[in-house]
Amino acid sequence: MAAPYDVFKDAGAEVVLVSPAGGRPPLDPKSSEPDAQTDLTRRFEADGEASAALSNTGRLNGVTHEGFDAVFYPGGHGPLWDLAEDPASIRLIETTLRAAKPVALVCHAPGVLRHAKAPDGKPLVAGKAVTGFTNTEEEAVGLTAIVPFLVEDELKRAGGVFSKAGDWEPYVVGDGLLITGQNPASSGPTAERMKAYLDNR
């Protein structure tokens, strides 16, 4: 989350953080491990405004697309358990895209698209170019048997045209208003792609 937050704040955007339950959301424990820390995560943690926003997120079911220009889903394994099945999340994605506003998802977050539908009732990702955390990346972190589903497999099952770069390399795919990034290294570039779209509207 740190890299996208940084991109949007540096661009002068107003960033609103929300989560399923509101308040301080549970964080992926792996994101706090020393080898996961970067200059951007340390900057985020030292930013009083960012820390305050993270400690007091809005409640997802109270959010509608009308108040926003775009919606961005950061990664981490957590979305596979909560956001992927959350009706409010699914509704936000669907209504934001129908309102001709961009939605971006990175790393595991593209898995949140598994139940989202296009206006014709077909899977939202059917026929769309997408990417997300790959099967080989999940295998590399040793969680293939733990996660409820594999992002790559789920996007393909829903008819997405899935592509990827090498493991851990930054990779972003845009298909109209839908923007997806492959892995943690793609979070900043995914935010930059969304920013470029918003700048050129």
CA dihedral 178, 172, 167, 185 (to 10 degrees): -110
Alpha-carbon gap, residue 74 to 43, rounded angstroms? 17
Chain segment 31-76, per-residue pLDDT in tens: 666 666 677 666 666 666 777 778 889 899 999 999 999 999 998 8
Domains of the chain (ranges, CATH numbers) = 2-199 (3.40.50.880)
Alpha-carbon gap, residue 21 to 69, rounded angstroms? 22
Residue 59: predicted pLDDT: 94
What is the three-class DSSP state of 124?
coil
Alpha-carbon gap, residue 96 to 70, rounded angstroms? 7
Alpha-carbon gap, residue 32 to 12, rounded angstroms? 27
Residue 77: predicted pLDDT: 92
pLDDT band for 29, please (50, 70, 90 cuts): low
